[in-house]
Structures are given as structure tokens and as C-alpha cells.
Structure 1
């Protein structure tokens, strides 16, 4: 690439520069020719370059018009110049006629919305290897009873097998972020438990709205308003409830609403 690119704060740009970290991430991804690889935010190509060398072709999603223009000049790279939250990942998988392999160093200022956007397309994704703030990854992989266990844990563990792979310090980036980072592997579960995503999200949001209170004060009132008679122990806090129990409750509520 030609002239140096200045990181843009409004895009949350922090470029990965540590060769050892980059190699570890690429080995974890293990890209192969013929796979439908999609990178979110290629930036200056720290990951893009070694991934491209292994697979020969990939699609990049880049909002920064200057960087998008640079990537269009590279052989083997297809560019989607767009906000990632507007990208139709299911449609992209249909174009490839295979599930997507999604990789990327996600902009930390919108990482959670990106995760929920990808969640909508989980049925069309083979796996995701993404870098996020370490505290977000801690929340994603947390188990019940852990202080980090919450809405994000439940919503993602419903749909994915999650594994935290690497922890990365600020010094691996230019400019250095003010937080530690981590890479997480996300593999959609197949088959995934069938549940109404919007209902589950509302249920879980209510349950974790007041973490210190017993569920009878939050979820209990919400269930009463729905005239639900579903069996569920409300004499505990939300962080004590396993993902499977939230799913079972959501399924029971769906059956109740449809009269099934």
C-alpha cells in the first residue's frame, strides 16, 4: 500500500502490528483455498495479507473509503465498502453457495452490535474468529455463577460453541488501545435449540436488568404480566441460571402464546 494511513478514531481503528500475534491468529483460523472467507475491517492488512497467502481469495468489509480503495487494487480481494451492520451475511453465503468463515479485528466501539448482527446469520456461518476487548470475550464465554455471566453470555452460548484462544496486550497495536484484547473462536451449534430469538432476548434482558435482586422482583413480574404458568425457580439471581434453563423457559412461553 502507498502512503501511510492515519488511524481514524471515529472508526475505532487500532491496527495489529505484532508479527507473533498475527501468526498465532492465522494458525488458529487455518484458512484454506476454496473457503468463503470474509474479513471485517481489514485495515492495513495485518491479517488479510497472511490469510490471502494461504487461501488465494477473500472478501473484505471496509467502511473507510480510503482503505477500501486501496484493497480494490489487490488481486484476489473482493471489497464490500459498507458499514458491517448493514451487510447481508446470509445473502453473501448464498452467493458463495457455502457457509462463511468470518474473521476480523472488530471495532471495539460497536463490537456488541456486530456480534448480534452476525447472530442473526449464524445458520449461514461455519465459524468466526474475531478479536475484541478482553472484557467482552470474558463476558461471552462466562459460566453461570461468574460475575461476567450475563445477557451476552446467554444469547451467544445459545447459538455458538465459544472458545477464548489468545489474550493480547495493547502493545500489539498501533495506536495502542487502552484495553487488553482477546481472540475468540465461535462455531455455530448444529442443530441449535429452536427458540424465538426476540423473545429470548427480551426475557434475558429483563432477567439481568437488576443483577443483585432475586428473579422474582424482575423476571417474576414480567412473567406475571404474561400470565405465564411455566415452572421456573425465581428464588435465585439471573447469574445463577444456566443457558439451557433460559431456553426452556423461552420455549414454554412460545408454546403458551401460540396455544401449542
Structure 2
């Protein structure tokens, strides 16, 4: 689904970096910022995916650059930030969207290597991307913004998303800590998407029985869209949310969401 936004330039002159942004929610986030005037830097693990996404965004007259970056790779993280700064001179918004769910095993049956990967990609990579003195944070000045992408499963873990959900719960706390440490110049907030049909969630949303059960749990009786998530992220990063920091915005159609 393409973005509904065709006008409005809240991010004119801004530079926005989005990780894991060549498809799904990440792509829609990048597209939304670009349509609102930002210069967008997208990234993902594969050059082919980066190139294809860049072409799609350029076709919509979006100012975009693409960089290959596996967020667990220190050199690639460093290159992502350095390339952005060399090209644009600054970073106004960072959206940390990369995540994995390598196992659907119950918690006590999850391999240690899987636990390590969940922590490394879903939590640690956001910290390292922003780590002062190393990567993005030194290039973020007054009125900059960070948005972490968590999940409704951070509040209520689905059976097949147990440890994934725990890693997403950790982002709620990380949001609070980073908001305090990066204040007052940088606001840090979090979006917790509900269930959105993407390649990442296909094994759940592609099952019609599961899909119907999820839809029935939402007040709006539907799954979310990638554009729904992009709208929320753009709001939190914009001046419209200039007095909001350290918060998690649940975008899940009214699905129960609090701890």
C-alpha cells in the first residue's frame, strides 16, 4: 500500500535515517518522511533490496540514499552513519526498525544462540547505533528525534513470539532511559505496532484463523497497515510532538496493550 500523504512538508530540510527500511513497515516509514520533504537514508542487509527500494522511492520524487547495513555489524553501522553525515552533514531523525524473530520455541526451550541474536538485533543494535562518541548521537543536534519500533507483543506475548516479545518489552524501558540521557536536545519515543500483514508477520497474519482471532481482539476489527505505523512514527518525530518524549505510542486498533 502506498502512502496516502501527498502534501504537507513537516520534514523539509531534515535528514532521516531508517534501519531495515527496504520493505514492510520500514519502507513505509521512509516513504512517509520522504513525501513530507525529508532526505531519507534507507538501509537493509542486501544490496539488491537497497537498490530496488531506492528506485521505488526516487520514482515518487523522494530524496533518498541507500546503504547496506546489517545492524549487528559494527563496521556497517559506522558506515551507515558516516555515509549519512558525509552526504548531508547531520542527522535529524533516527528510526530504529530492525528486528528478528529466529525462533518460535517456548522460552525455556530457546537456544542460547537465539537468545543472543534477539538481544543483539532487537535491543543492543539500537543502543550501539546511537552510542555517544561512536555513531549517530554526536551528529544529532537540538530538536532531533529518535523513534524505536517495538511491538504490541511487548505487552502481550503471543505463544510463538515469546522471547521476541520480551526483547520488545525491553525497548519500552530503553525508550525511557534514552529520553532522559539525550534530553533536552533529542526526544526519544517508541511506537508499538499491532499486527500488520508483512513478510515478517506472514506466518501469523497469513493464517486465516489466526488473522480472524486477531481482528476480533481489536476494537476496529481489522489489522493495521504499514501506513498506519508510518503515520505514527512521523507524528512522534515531528514538531507536532515537540512536548512528547520517553513515551510509547501503541498503534494496534484498540487491542489491549498495557502491562
Query: So what's the TM-score if we normalise by structure 1?
Result: 0.46
Query: So what's the TM-score if we normalise by structure 2?
Result: 0.46
Select the structure of larger CA radius of gyration. 1
The structure that is strand-richer by fraction is 1
